[in-house]
Homo-oligomer: A and B are copies of this chain.
Amino acid sequence: MKIVMAHGSGGNATKQLIKELFQKYLANQYLDKMEDSAILPSSEYPLALTTDSFVITPLEFPGGDIGKLAICGTVNDLWMGGAEPQYLTVGFILEEGLKLELLERVVKSFADTAKEAEVQIVAGDTKVVQGDGGLYINTAGLGFKKAQTPLGIESISKGDAIIVSGCLGNHQASIMSQRMEIANSIRSDCANLGFMVKDLLKDNLGIKVMRDITRGGLATVLNEIAEVSGTTIEIEESSIPVDPEVDSFCNILGLDPLYMANEGKFLCVVAEEHEEEILTRLKKNPLGTNSRIIGRITDLSKYIVTVKTRLGGRRIIDVLYGEGLPRIC
């Protein structure tokens, strides 16, 4: 069975698809009402709102699929702002010809990941377009900012450490391997960062900024922080954690892990006096065992990001130019 245009009509075929597939996996007190919008309890905490669309191809890959990614990506964006995710909305755009079994696996994975991340899907929408069996997912997330940290980009000081929560490049290397049909055991790092971050938000540990290291890679995220804060960031190439298999993959293809996309890694800018405590907490989590300090804020008067290379030289790193890898997330 495949998706046909009638599944997007808003009539009986749409109703059946929603009943037999989406409701089967996503049912809850809010969605079951089938109203135009979900009415949720008020909140004493500041609200956090974010959105992300997912257009990754292939739809399933080692370590995840577009459904898992669509939960993790949005949930992680809320956690990066120090907010606890609670409610998500989802928009599915299905291409004609999409196999129903594939869609069902993705929706199941989406539902399972939502459950693990302790978020409820409270509103949804399905559309069908012409195409070739593809699938796009948009999620928007609402969370509550209960923690005082992160303190914000304006609190960055000289000497602050830049900590990365693990090895870089696995997501992109996995997607590229699959597209190029290269056999290896590299898996996407696609993960919900919530449990790890929740532990950092306790006790006001002087975390200034958190950012997940997705599209554009570490180089792009560092440049965004340095540009907005007008500061100089210096990192050490030898400190950047990379899995040996990803490292080989990058060497063969001439890729730089600094520019590669991840889906389960983040960086934080933290006050020097708390860096050891934060590193210890990160390393305790299974997702953070390879956490490392990779550099520091060295100057508050000018925007530049540099890396000290393994050979002892120093070069400027800019944001990603050109194409990157299309449809990586």
B-binding residues in A (CB < 8 A): 5-6, 8-15, 34-55, 76-78, 80-81, 83, 87, 89-93, 122-125, 127-130, 134, 136, 138, 140-143, 145, 211-212, 214-217, 220, 224, 228, 259, 261, 318-328
B37 & A93 in contact (Cβ 8 Å cutoff) = no
- Can you list 16 A-B contacts (CB < 8 A)? A9-B215, A9-B324, A10-B216, A10-B220, A11-B220, A37-B143, A38-B50, A49-B87, A51-B90, A51-B124, A53-B91, A55-B93, A123-B140, A127-B136, A129-B136, A129-B327
Measured between beta carbons, the chain B residues less than 8 angstroms from A92 are 53
Q: Distance in Å from the Cβ of A276 to the closest Cβ of chain B?
A: 26
B34 touches A49 (CB 8 A): no
The 4 tightest CB contacts between A and B, nearest first, are A11-B320, A10-B215, A140-B140, A9-B324
> How far, in whole Å, are A47 and B325 apart by their CA atoms in the complex?
38
Contacts of A13 in B (CB 8 A): 321-322
Interface of A, helix, strand, loop or mixed by DSSP: mixed
Contact with A38, one of B49, B55, B125, B224 (Cβ below 8 angstroms): B49
Q: Given that A37-B83, A77-B36, A143-B37 are contacting pairs, would A51 and B10 also be in contact in the complex, using a CB cutoff of 8 Å? A: no
Residues from chain B with a CB closer than 8 A to the CB of A212 are 36
- Say how far A107's CB is from chain B's closest CB, in angstroms: 16
Q: Which residues from B are CB-within-8-Å of A323? A: 5-6, 9
Q: A11-B259, A12-B320 are in contact. List 10 more A-B contacts (CB 8 A).
A: A11-B320, A35-B80, A36-B76, A36-B81, A39-B46, A40-B47, A50-B89, A52-B91, A53-B127, A123-B140
A80 CB, nearest partner CB in chain B, Å: 4
A36 touches B10 (CB 8 A): no
CB distance from A7 to the nearest CB of B (A): 10
Q: Is B11 within 8 A of A321, CB to CB?
A: yes
B81 to A228, Cβ gap below 8 A? no
The residue from B38, B93, B123, B326 contacting A136, defined by CB atoms under 8 A apart: B93
Return the chain B residue nearest A219 by Cβ: B11
Nearest Cβ on chain B to A170's Cβ, whole angstroms: 17
The distance from the CB of A39 to the nearest CB of chain B, in whole angstroms, is 5
Q: Which residues of B contact A129 (CB under 8 A)?
A: 55, 134, 136, 327
Of chain B, the residue at the smallest CB distance from A318 is B12
Whether B47 lies near A41 (C-beta < 8 A) is yes
A10 touches B261 (CB 8 A): yes
A75 to chain B, nearest CB (A): 10
Pair B216/A14 contact, Cβ less than 8 Å: yes
Q: Are B55 and A48 in contact (CB under 8 A)?
A: no
